[in-house]
Amino acid sequence: MSGFKVTFPGNKKIDAAFNNFKIKTDQTRENGGDETAPEPFDVFIASIGTCAGIYAKSFCDVRKLSTSNMYIFVEVFFKEGQKLMELVNITLHVNQQFPEKYIKPIIKSMSGCSVKNQLHPEIKINTGVVYLDQ
Tens digit of each residue's pLDDT (9 = 90 or more) over 97-132:
999 999 999 999 999 999 999 999 999 999 999 999
* Confidence band for 52, pLDDT divided at 50, 70 and 90: very high
**Torsion angle, alpha carbons of 59, 62, 66, 70, to 10:** 20
pLDDT digits (tens, 9 = 90+) for 57-81: 999 999 999 999 999 999 999 999 9
In a domain, 37, yes or no: no
Number of domains in the chain: 1
pTM for the full predicted model: 0.91
Q: What is the CATH number of the domain that holds 103?
A: 3.30.300.20
Give the pLDDT confidence score for residue 81 in this predicted structure.
Answer: 92
The DSSP bridge pattern shows strands 124-131 and 85-94 to be parallel
Parent domain of 125: 65-131
Judged by DSSP in three states, 97 sits in coil
Is 82 among the domain residues? yes
- What residues does 74 pair with on adjacent strands? 90
Answer yes or no: is 33 within a domain: no
Asked whether residue 73 is assigned to any structural domain, the reply reads yes
Confidence of residue 2 (pLDDT cuts 50, 70, 90): confident
Q: Is residue 117 part of a domain?
A: yes
Within a domain: 110: yes
Output the CA angle 23-28-29, nearest 5 degrees: 135
Task: Report how far apart the first and last C-alpha atoms of the chain are (Å, whole number).
Answer: 42
| Phi, then psi, of 119 in degrees rounded to 5 | -70, 155
Asked if residue 59 belongs to a domain, the reply is no
Q: Is residue 48 in some structural domain? A: no
